[in-house]
Each structure stands twice: as structure tokens, then as C-alpha cells.
Structure 1
Amino acid sequence: MNAGDIARLADVGRAAVSNWRRRYEDFPQPVGGTASSPLFSLPEIEAWLRRNGKSYEVSLGDRVWQRLRGAAGDLHLGEALGRVGAFLLYLRRDPEGWERLSRTADLAARLPEAVAAATGDLPETSAEPADPDLLRLVATMAAREGEAETFEFLCERYVEVHSRRLSLTRADAAELMTRLACEGAGSVLDPACGLGTLLLAAPGGRLLGQDAGEEAAVLAALRLLLRGRDAAVVPGDALRHDGFPGTQADAVVCDPPFNERAWGHEELVGDPRWQYGTPPRGEPELAWVQHCLAHVRTGGLVAILMPAAAASRRPGRRIRSNLLRAGALRAVVTLPSGGPDLWLLRRPEPGERRPAAVLVTDASGGPEVAEAAWRAYLAGAPQPPASRAVPIIDVLDDEVDVSPARHLSPRSDARGYPAALDRFREASAALAAAPPDLEVLAEGAADWDAPVTTIAELAKAGLLAVSHSTLRALPEEDAADEAGVPVLTADDLLSGGPPTGRATGAGGQVTVRPGDVVASAVAARVVRAEGAVLGPQLSLFRADPGHLDPDFLAGFLRFALGGGRPHLGSSRVDVRRVRVPRLPLPAQRAYGAAFRRLLALEDGLREASAAGEELARVGVEGLIDGRLRPRG
């Protein structure tokens, strides 16, 4: 089991597991995995948790998973999961047969034949007998949770283990693709189905899938069949070895592999599927587009994910031009959260009128934006914001660029202009009151003729306590752990904002109090809030308020450190040697108030600059896209 499994077992965050490994010498040593992703023995972890009084609960699903992973190892985990899935399908289809077989003495020898007889519509799976004790455990879990739910649980764990090797379609993209392309479809094909995510999202009908990976094809078929779907999935590379020759589905959905050079360019020259042009070697995605169009009925829709560059790459412009001229390419959608674009295509019917425009949509605001734009496009209605029906004649130039960003004005919401204007005015108005009223002295004069001291001397005299952060860095897992304590970081110090880091509440950390001066390598500031701990590379100066004003101290520290700007030299300032005038406390407070207002001015200028930039952006974009106009 990995750190995530242990965290689930003990109902803690991953950061807590990392902390246990650092703090407890008797924490079990890894038994496998890698240095960055170690694996531990479940019995050893259970014994350690009991020994240290940590509450935990090993669910039946966890025991099934650990036994499966321990028996197969990560290298053969997909094959072993396929055998367990076939057993679950056998349980679903012949529960009485399992009841009889489970009582026999030669279960391990007889089970493969029984499973094969009940799952003949699966792609070929290994006949190697599985661990009978594991299968009994699986059967117990299936009786409680259901066969499909049990297999989904194991598939989720399998994906976690092989997350870097597997490419999964995002759930929101899958739902959008099937809603747009598969409405009313009696049959749906996915020629690069992976684990079956797109087919599972399809609303119904006959489901056909193919994948180049044999294990993936088996797992996709099992996920569908265990849900009672009418499905057929075959292994094999669909471009080179089409698993459904001559088949034309009502709809095709596809999330093909991207940027594969060895996709069969030489051996597929002259292939009848290339009705819109032979795909260049570096444009395998355009081969997938034409494969999908060849497998959809006339009038049927294709929803395919494409790399954003496929909309504008020069080698593919001839095929894009032919797709547009024929009326096959209907829409290009930029999806939320970045990633690939969605292309919607329709196989033209002979003699039908070709569309005059192609839809381009930026759906960064959510999938519902794309759906609304598509419905408006089909109805010939005006397009909602962030969408446009671009005349095809305007696209057929030397580039044939169908990127939404090329044809849409920068994303803006003109309704936000008044609010942006208010923010800018408020931030600007605060600037006028920020500067302190400072008197300019005559040339050569000075306000004091006082001795100076240093930070080191103040600390030695007991007027200043100096502490340094015990945190060397904020690990990613700690930074994402909402249950941790807030950490004041160097960036927070520069911006004057609240603590943004998170860390586990381990002992030895330096807690910040209101009135403390915190300094980084380039800045210093008095902290007004409490409850945070000192972040990496920060130091804390806690002044005796009866002798030393914090804002006065912070002002001189800030100047010595560069006023928030990095030093041009290579050496860091030794804060112990920073010189501070020895002034009476009332004078210190007067200077401290001036320092505080000047720092507030810096912060206000930063805020006003950001508000001004936002105001200018929204204003310019609103004027360009016609949603704003000058008054009068």
C-alpha cells in the first residue's frame, strides 16, 4: 500500500503519513515501489497503527485491493484485474453456478472454464487461475456492494497506481461530448476507448469500442457489461487494424492518442478513409478525424478531442479546408480547464445544403456554454457570449485557422466594467490619504544626533527576541492539506496578504503573534494577525514593546534589506548587523507611524495598479467586442 492508501486507512491526510514517517523511527520501512512512491506492507502498517494508538479501519474493499495488488504486482496488475472482472461478470450472469462451484474442493481448477463459458463475449483474457481466497473475498464484496460497484472500486485504485501511464478522458468532457453527439443515437462507436469512459457516458443503445491496449479493451468491456450495457469491445489499433470494418454507427465519440509519429502513415497511403486528404505524418489526429467520419452514418455526429494546435498547424490546412468546404467540420470548442479542444463534425448527406458558418466557442466558463452555443448554432439563433458563427469563407485563407482564440475577441464581461471602475476609484482614493506629512530639513541637517545600535546588540540586551523558521520547505502534499495550520510565506510578506501556505501541526514551529516583525531576504513587515506559523526562509523579531516600537524596527530592517526589492549583489544582508538609531520610545513611535503609512502607500499602489489594469482590460475588450460604447 502507498501513502495514499495509509491515509485512507487511518482517515488522515497524506501530509500526516509523511509526518509519521519523519517523526517515528519505528514506522515500517518500504517493501517495494520507488523512493518517490514507496509501498508498505498492510500487516506491518496495521501493527504500527495499533502499537501507536492510531484508530483505523480496513474496509473490505481495501483488503480485496491489497490482496489483488500483492498477488499480481504492479507490472501485471491490469491483467489480474481483468481476471477478477471476468469473475465478477460470471457472478452476475450465473450466481447459482458460483454457489455450486464455491463448495467444491477443486475450485481453482474448475473455475477458469466456468468463467470462460459465462463470459464468451469478452475479449480474450488470461485463463490463469486466480487465487481462490481472493475470489471468495471478491464474491463477499460483490454480495454487499454489487458486481459493477466492486469492479469500479478496483478500477479506481488501478488508475491511481498507473495514473502516469493511463490517459483518461475528463468526466466533464465525456458528458459534454455524449450530450452533444449521442442524443437519440441507437449505436455509438469509440475507436480509441481506453477504459471506456466515453462509452459509459453514452445515453444508451449499442456500444462499440476498440483500443490498442489489450488490457484496456478487456477492462472497458467489463465496465460496460457489468452495467448491463449492450456492448462489444475489441483490442487492436483502429487505424491499422479496424475492428469494425464497414460499420457505421449513429454517433462516434473519440479521445485519440496525440502526437504519435508511428501511426501507420506509410502503410495507410491511399486508404479509402482519407476522403478529405491524406494526413501528413505529423498530423495523426486528422487521421483519427477521418476514421471517425468513415464510421458514422450520413447525418451522424462525431465528437472528437483534438490538441489545440491541430486547429492551426500549417501541414493540416488542406484537410481542414476540405472539411469546411464539405460541411463536415461544424464546431471547434475550447474546453474548461485547458487541455484539448472539442471538434464536432457531421457526415454530410448527399445533395444537402452546406452550412455557411462554423461555430467557434470558448467554453472556459463551463460546459453549459458549449451546449448553449451548439443549440443556438443548430437553430440559427444569435450566439451567446464567448461564441461566434464564423463565415466559412472568412476562414478559407492561407492558414485555415479554426482556433476559437483566433476568431473570438478577448474574453470579457462588459457587465463587470462598473464594478472594476468602482474598485479602481476606491483604491486610487485611498492613495491620497496614505503618505505621511514629512518635513523637509535643511541641507546637511539631521533630525537626530543619536547613537546607533545593531539587531545583535538589541537581542543581547534582551530588548529583542529573534527566531528563525524551522520549516525548510512546504511540500506539495502539506500545501494542499486543508487540515494543516496556516503558514506565512515570503510571498505573503511581500504582498501584505494573509497566510497562504499550509503545513502539518508538528511541534517546533514558530508561531507568529500580532506586533511581531517578520523579515525575509528582501523585505520586513509588522504582522497584525495571529494564528500562523513562520514559513521557510523567514525570521521573526519580537520586540519588547516598552522599549522598542515594532514599526520603527521594521522600517530600518526593510531599508537594509532593500525595501522589498532584491539586492543586486550576490551576498545576503546579515540582519544581525543592521543598524538602528537609539531613540526615545515616543520618537520611535512617530517614525514607526510614518514607516507604516509609507508601507501602506506601497501596498495601495500595488492594489491600484492591479485594479487599473483590470479596468483597462475590461474597457478595451468591451469596446472591441461591442458590449461597451462611449457615452454621449
Structure 2
Amino acid sequence: MRHDATLNAGDIARLADVGRAAVSNWRRRYDDFPQPVGGTAASPLFSLPEVEDWLRRNGKPYEMSPADRVWQRLRASGDDLRLGDLVGCAGAFLLFLLRDPEGRQAAGRAREPAERLHRAAAAATADLPVPVDWSMIDLPLYRLLADLAGEHGPREAFELLCERYIEAHSRLLSVTRADLADLMARLAAPLLGGPADDAPQNATGAPPTVFDPACGVGALLLPFTGARVLAQDGGETAALLTAVRLLLGGARAQVVAGDSLRLDGFPALRADVVVCDPPFNERAWGYEELTGDPRWEYGLPPRGEPELAWVQHCLAHTRPGGLVAVLMPPAAASRRPGKRIRGNLLRAGALRAVMTPVPGGPDLWLLRRPRPGERAPSQVLMVDAAESTADAEAAWRAFAADPEGAPPAPGRAVRIIDLLDDEVDLSPARHRLLLGAREAAAEFGRVRERFAARAAALEGALPHVAPPAEGHEPPTTTIGELVRAGMVTVHQGPAKMATDAGDLPVLTAADLLSGGAPSGRTTGDPGHVVLEPGDVVSAVLAEVGAARTVTEAGAVLGPHLYLYRVDRERIDPDFLAGCLRHAAGAARAHPGASRVDARRVRVPRLSLAEQREYGRAFRELLALEDRLRATAELGERLVRLGFDGLVGGHLRPGG
């Protein structure tokens, strides 16, 4: 057991109450900032005493909260590979404190033998799904946990630790988005006692049952603490964390550790609601040993379609009339090997809706286990990328109340018979809601007016460029020479970076091409390159063919991008961006060129005043390029609306 407490960059930012970018700046600007003592180059760890000493010496206020003290003690009690087990053990001890108030007093006494606490805690938490190694926690940590529970309560104390654990292992853990988890809970509410025709009727008065067969750390089940909650996960650590979270929240919970598909922990279960965010694209899911499994009521899942195995596993554990809400990769709606099972789900009336509730996916499939002898429905609901999850919920509510009616936008009821073709494509984007005749005609008119206005404005966007009175070719240098002269400093973005999670904005190659604001999001890291106004960013890959001057600070450089920081007294950034833009375009003109060799890019030798004139012209050309792109996109939309309207009868030739 080690006790050299360490912090990552996020911990330091929280300790000093600053943003993660500030920590990155400290590391870059202060030579005396503590050096990493562990971790990796992408996620280094720093000594807590050294960081505290540095903050004090540099006059930067900080406060170590009780939650921080517990977290750092946990991090110091073992390596990161066992961090989940340590957090689970801490949660089990908090559960002991909740169930045994005298245990809290015992934990606060310094002379209480650890072995006695171990025995008492083990007896009070015997219902946990896996044995707890109580030797991982020592008396000082017991006392810190007791203090934290006294301040926040055991449940909130453990949620604070879970947040830190999920943040520390964000690249290893797959946690369902909070808005999707909330949506799934709201959709299931009518079957758990709300006003709905399918509300469970239980003569014994037993509470409704919710099941998650791939629970992870329990994100989907936390809203269901009023129901009887059952869960399973293949990871023992995940099962332990889920069980502790549910039990601390007061749920009547039973959690099993084990592979749900191979070692079903609840073979006889028929739940009122099943929610699931299964692992995607997991090829080793048990195809060979499960070929004859009775759960495959709608067809044997192909080897490459594990998600369809999870869908049928969920349905097999649902009572007649019960609901299944399962997140699916968008490709599962259209991949050819799975079309037979999709077709069978539609014919049986089991699949009731396919939603893309948030732009970019994943999809949410809503299924209902048919009651014996009932008539199969004729329509299925499609919802494509609603403005908010509330829109998707409203469409489902209306469709559930009247399956033969027309749900509100963005929902569309599609005839099942129309889907049973050679593809059985259930992609919501393919079945977008068609506008009514009046709305479609009005939309076409609005887009035509905007296109005409933008096309007319293009003439005013022409750059102020003209041939010189006498042709001349100025002498040139290269960016490599400018770097050696100290006029330009070059930074390269990472080869890989997670750009879909975190709170730090990332400028991506797509943003560079479109001229849009940084659209990526990532977590802080001292290795990030932070953009400053006047920086020039260009793409590594020739096919992107873009270079721009940064106008706002704060974002970080994304993958496959270069940053050029210039001496503003000798180099105009817009001038340099124009030269780089030309080089990228020239590379694209040569087949086989995949990258721009920035060191060899030719740059005219001009005075700073001349550079600024060229920079102005380059800005005008870039603005024209952006306007042309926006106009072309609007024109494509106009053409699409025109074809849709003429074929659909909403528009007529002429006029």
C-alpha cells in the first residue's frame, strides 16, 4: 500500500478553483512547476505535497475539501488498476455507516482496531454482489470517509467519489449520457405506476421491476430507486459500484456480476421495464456457444451483430406488454446481416420506435413484448435528431396513445409493410418527417429567397486584386528558414484526441475548413497546445486544404493540425495563412499528395507593410470561399426541396 498522494491536471484545477487550461499554462510558463511523478505523457500525475507547496509559494489560493482529501487518500492507497476496487470498497464502508449508525462513531475513534471495523462492515454489507477486500482501507481513510459522510450523507459522499472515478477513467469507462438516461427513465415512467394503459397490475401489491443486463456503473438505474431494481454486468468492479449506488439510494436492488449473455444471472426474470446500453461492436459475445439459445426468438444473431443479441436478451426478460429501451449504434438499423431479425421484430409488433433523440446518435430502440394473441400494429415510430429529448418524448407519448395516428414533429409514423423490403432499413434519417403541402411550399419559397440574396451578394464579395503594372516575381524564403530565424514557432496537434467529451473546446480540421467555432470538446491535459489570437492554423492533411488566423483564445489545437505562432513585428499572420492556404491547394492538385510539408512552403520576401496588404487580400479571398460554400449548401437544399415538392405534389412547374 502506498501513500504518496498524487493529482492529475483536473484535480489541480479543482483544488485551485481554476480551469484546466490555466493548469496547462502554469506548466508551460513556470519552470518551477512540479514535474510529473507518474501516469502517462497524455495523463501525467503530480505529487500532492509538491503541488500544494508550489501553489503556496506562488500566492495561488486553494482549498482541500473533505471530498478531495478522501479522493487523494484513495488514489494513494493503490495503483490506478485497482482504483475502481478501492472506490467500491469505500462505497461499501459508506453503506455500512448508513446501515449501522454506531459504526460511524466507531470509525471516528482513532484507537478502534481496523479488524473490528472490517468484521462489522462485512456483516452489514453481505448482500453486495462480490466480496469486498477490506484490507485496502486503513484507519485514517475510515475516519476521512466518516467525516465526509457526516458532511454530505453517505449517498452524496459516494456520488462525489464516483464522479471523480469516472472522470479519472473517462477513456476506459463507457457511461451513458445523462440526457439519454433521463429520457429513457421518462419513457418508462407510465409502466411503473403512471397513468398508462400498460401500467402493471400486481395483485400482491409488489413494486414494479426494472432490469439492466449491462449496467456498467449504474447510470440508467439511478432514476428507478422507487422500483425493484435488478442488474448484471460482466465486470465485478462495475457490479459492485452499481450495487452500492443503488443501495445507498434506498432502492430494493439485486446486482449480479457475470456475462449476461453467457451466464444469465436472472433466467426466470420477466421485468416491467428493461433498460440497456450494451457494449457496441463486441465480436466475442458468445456466438459459437449460444447458437441454439431459446432467447433468439426472432432469429439467430449474426456473429457481427452482437447488439441484436442484446435486444433479444432484453425482450426475453420482459413481461408481455412490458417496455424495452435499448441504445443501439446507428449502423444496427441498416446493416445487411441483421435485416432478417429486424424484419421479424417488425412483423411481430415487438419493435415500436427507432429514435435518434440527439444529433449524432446513438439510436434508441423502443420495444414492447407482444401479449399472446394480440393483433400486431401496422405502424412504427421514427424520430430523427430532435431539437431536444423532450420532442422525442412527446412524439412517443402521442404514438403510444394512438399507434394509428400521426405523431407530432419530429416523429413520423411509418407503415411496417413499407419497411419490409430487401433492406429493412430502420434508420430514422431515411424516414424524416415530410412537411405538409403548405409548409413545404413556404419552406421552398424561404430558401429560394435566401439563395437569391446570397447569390446577389457574391458580386460585392469579390476581392480587390488586380494585375500589377509590371509583372514581377518577388524573392522567396521558406517556413523552415523563418523558423530558424526565430520569426515563426511551429506546434503540431496530437495524432489522436478524444473530441467528444469534456469541457475544453477543441479546434478540429472540420472547423478549420468551414470557418466555424471550435466544435470539439476534450478534457484538460498539459500537453495540449492552447490557441492565442494571431496564431495561424493549417491542416497536416492536404485534402483538407485550409489555413486560417485565430481570432479568439482558449481553444486547444486538434488532431492533424499545425499551429504557427509568428513574431508580429516581422510577419503578418494573415499573409502567412494565405501562403499556407496556397500550398495546401497546390498539394491537392497533385494526385497522391496526402500531406503538406510545411518546412518547404515558399513565402515571398516582403516588407511588413506589403505583407499586410497581401494579408488583406488573402482575407477577402477566404471570405469569398466561405460565402461560396454557404451559398452552395443553400443551393443544394433548394434543389432537394424542389425535387421533393414536385414529386410530392407540393410544387408545380412555372410561377
Q: TM-score range by the shorter chain?
A: 0.7 to 0.9
Quick one: distance in 2 between partners of 1:77 and 1:530?
39
Q: CA deviation at 1:607?
A: 0.8
In the other structure, the counterpart of 2:37 is 31
Secondary structure in 2 matching 1:80: helix
Secondary structure in 2 matching 1:92: helix
Report the AA paired with residue 394 of structure 1: D
Residue among 17, 38, 54 paired with 2:23:
17
Q: Deviation per CA, 1:456-487, whole angstroms, max 9, x where unpaired?
A: 9xxxxxxxxx9834462568899x99999x99
TM-score by length of 2: 0.77
Residue among 269, 279, 292 paired with 2:301:
279
Q: Deviation per CA, 1:251-303, whole angstroms, max 9, x where unpaired?
A: 11111122223222232232222222222222222222121111111111111
Q: CA deviation at 1:427?
A: 3.0
Q: After the TM superposition, which of the residue ranges 72-81 and 294-303 deviates more from structure 2?
A: 72-81
TM-score by length of 1: 0.79
1:220 aligned to 2:239?
no
In the other structure, the counterpart of 1:63 is 69
Q: Please tell me whether the aligned partners of residues 469 and 536 of structure 1 are also in contact (alpha carbons under 8 angstroms).
A: no
In the other structure, the counterpart of 1:41 is 47
Report the AA paired with residue 405 of structure 1: A
In the other structure, the counterpart of 1:614 is 634
Secondary structure in 2 matching 1:167: coil
Quick one: distance in 1 between partners of 2:580 and 2:97?
75
Quick one: distance in 1 between partners of 2:349 and 2:287?
26
Q: Please tell me whether the aligned partners of residues 360 and 390 of structure 1 are also in contact (alpha carbons under 8 angstroms).
A: yes
1:376 aligned to 2:398?
yes
Q: CA deviation at 1:195?
A: 0.9
1:114 aligned to 2:141?
no
Mapping of residues 76-475 of structure 1, within 5 Å: 76-100=82-106, 102-103=108-109, 105-129=111-135, 130-185=137-192, 186-202=208-224, 204-378=226-400, 379=402, 380-408=404-432, 417=444, 420-433=447-460, 447=469, 468-470=487-489, 472-473=491-492
Q: After the TM superposition, which of the residue ranges 598-607 and 423-432 deviates more from structure 2?
A: 598-607
Secondary structure in 2 matching 1:198: coil
Report the AA paired with residue 406 of structure 2: P
Change (3 A) 1:616 1:319: closer
Q: After the TM superposition, which of the residue ranges 413-422 and 313-322 deviates more from structure 2?
A: 413-422
Change (3 A) 1:145 1:405: same
Q: Please tell me whether the aligned partners of residues 462 and 624 of structure 2 are also in contact (alpha carbons under 8 angstroms).
A: no
Change (3 A) 1:411 1:316: farther
Task: Name which one, 1 or 2, has greater alpha-carbon Rg.
Answer: 1
In the other structure, the counterpart of 2:603 is 575
Q: CA deviation at 1:120?
A: 2.6
Q: CA deviation at 1:499?
A: 10
Quick one: distance in 1 between partners of 2:362 and 2:537?
44
Secondary structure in 1 matching 2:345: helix
Report the AA paired with residue 75 of structure 1: L
Q: CA deviation at 1:243?
A: 1.4
Secondary structure in 2 matching 1:472: strand
In the other structure, the counterpart of 2:197 is none
Change (3 A) 1:386 1:538: same
Q: CA deviation at 1:104?
A: 7.3
Q: CA deviation at 1:611?
A: 2.3
Q: CA deviation at 1:106?
A: 4.0
Change (3 A) 1:562 1:337: closer
Quick one: distance in 1 between partners of 2:276 and 2:549?
54
Change (3 A) 1:432 1:93: same
Quick one: distance in 2 between partners of 1:181 and 1:382?
21
Change (3 A) 1:313 1:439: closer
Change (3 A) 1:542 1:494: farther
Listed as ranges, the gaps of 5+ residues in structure 1 are 441-445, 457-465, 545-549
Secondary structure in 1 matching 2:586: coil
Q: Deviation per CA, 1:430-467, whole angstroms, max 9, x where unpaired?
A: 33445589999xxxxx8469x998699xxxxxxxxx98
Quick one: distance in 2 between partners of 1:169 and 1:13?
25
Report the AA paired with residue 394 of structure 2: A
Secondary structure in 1 matching 2:458: helix
Q: Please tell me whether the aligned partners of residues 94 and 146 of structure 2 are also in contact (alpha carbons under 8 angstroms).
A: yes
Q: CA deviation at 1:80?
A: 1.4
Secondary structure in 2 matching 1:315: helix
Change (3 A) 1:477 1:10: farther
Q: CA deviation at 1:17?
A: 2.0
Q: CA deviation at 1:374?
A: 1.4
Secondary structure in 1 matching 2:326: strand
Q: Please tell me whether the aligned partners of residues 191 and 210 of structure 1 are also in contact (alpha carbons under 8 angstroms).
A: yes
Q: After the TM superposition, which of the residue ranges 205-214 and 113-122 deviates more from structure 2?
A: 113-122
Q: Please tell me whether the aligned partners of residues 464 and 617 of structure 2 are also in contact (alpha carbons under 8 angstroms).
A: no
Q: After the TM superposition, which of the residue ranges 204-213 and 178-187 deviates more from structure 2?
A: 178-187
Quick one: distance in 1 between partners of 2:298 and 2:244?
36
Listed as ranges, the gaps of 5+ residues in structure 2 are 1-6, 193-207, 478-484, 591-596
Quick one: distance in 2 between partners of 1:205 and 1:605?
58
Q: CA deviation at 1:366?
A: 2.4
Q: What RMSD over aligned residues (CA atoms) do the two structures have, in Å? A: 4.8
Q: CA deviation at 1:538?
A: 6.0
Q: Please tell me whether the aligned partners of residues 82 and 125 of structure 1 are also in contact (alpha carbons under 8 angstroms).
A: no
Q: CA deviation at 1:312?
A: 2.2
In the other structure, the counterpart of 2:623 is 603
Quick one: distance in 2 between partners of 1:348 and 1:560?
62
